[in-house]
Amino acid sequence: MTERPRFSVVIPCFNEAGYLTDALLSLRKQDFDGVFEVIVVDNNCTDDTAGIARDFGARVVAEPVPGVCNARQRGTEEARGEIVVSTDADTVHGRDWLSRIDARFRDDEHIVAVVGPCRYADGPRWGRYYGRALFGAVNGVHRLTGRAVYASATNIAFRREAWTGYDTGLTQGGDELDQLRRLRGRGRVVYDHGNPTYTSGRRLSRGLAYNLFVTLPVHYLLTYAVNRIAGRRVLGSAPAFRDDAGSFEATLAAGREAER
Rounded mean pLDDT of 13-42?
97
Q: List C-alpha distances in Å: 2 to 5, 35, 36, 80, 81.
A: 9, 10, 12, 11, 12
pLDDT at 240: 67
pLDDT value at 115 more than 70: yes
Q: How many domains does the chain have?
A: 1
Give the domain range for residue 155.
Answer: 7-203
Asked if 7 and 85 count as a contact pair (C-beta separation under 8 A), the reply is: yes
pLDDT at 251 (0 to 100): 44
pLDDT of residue 11: 98
CA 39 to CA 51: how far, in whole Å? 13
Mean pLDDT for 30-48 is 97
pLDDT 10s digits, 235-256: 666 666 655 455 555 445 434 4
Q: DSSP assignment of 95-144, as one string?
A: TTHHHHHHHHHHH-TTEEEEE--EEESSS-HHHHHHHHHHHHHHHHHHHH
Which contiguous run of DSSP H or E holds residue 159?
strand 156-159
Sort strands 83-86 and 7-13 into parallel, antiparallel or unpaired. Answer: parallel
Does a structural domain hold residue 237? Answer: no
pLDDT of residue 257: 43
CATH of the domain at 47: 3.90.550.10
- Judged by average pLDDT, the poorest of 11-15, 128-132, 162-166 is 128-132
Q: Does residue 226 belong to any structural domain of this protein?
A: no
Q: What is the CA radius of gyration of the chain?
A: 17
Rounded CA separation 45/53 (Å):
12
Domain membership flag for residue 231: no
For residues 153, 155, 159 and 163, what is the CA-based torsion angle, rounded to 10 degrees?
Answer: -10
Burial class (CB in 10 A: 0-12, 13-18, 19+), 212: exposed
- The C-alpha atoms of residue 205 and residue 131 are separated, in whole angstroms, by 15
Of 185, 2, 199, the closest CA to residue 86 belongs to 199
Task: Give the model confidence (pLDDT) of 172-227 as tens digits.
Answer: 778 899 999 999 999 999 999 999 999 999 888 778 786 777 667 666 677 767 77
Mean pLDDT of 151-165: 96
Model confidence at 117: pLDDT above 50: yes
Residue 181 falls inside a structural domain: yes
Question: pLDDT for 53-68, tens place per residue?
Answer: 999 999 999 999 999 9
pTM of the model: 0.88
Pairing of strands 197-199, 118-120: parallel
Does residue 233 lie in a domain region? no
- What letter would DSSP give residue 15? S
Q: What is the pLDDT of residue 260?
A: 42
Q: Which residues contact 2 (CB under 8 A, 6 or more apart)?
A: none
pLDDT at position 204: 84
Query: What integer best gives the mean pLDDT of the chain?
Result: 88
The contacts of residue 56 (CB under 8 Å, 6+ apart) are: 21, 24, 25, 28, 38
Q: Is residue 157 scored above 70 in pLDDT?
A: yes
What span, in angstroms and rounded, lies between the C-alpha atoms of 248 and 89? 12
CA distance 129 to 119: 9
Average pLDDT over residues 86-102: 97
Mean pLDDT for 4-11 is: 97
In a domain, 197, yes or no: yes
**Percentage of the residues of the chain whose pLDDT score is greater than 70:** 86
Picking from 9, 3, 50, 52, the residue whose alpha carbon sits closest to that of residue 27 is 9
Q: Is residue 143 part of a domain?
A: yes
pLDDT more than 90, % of the chain: 68
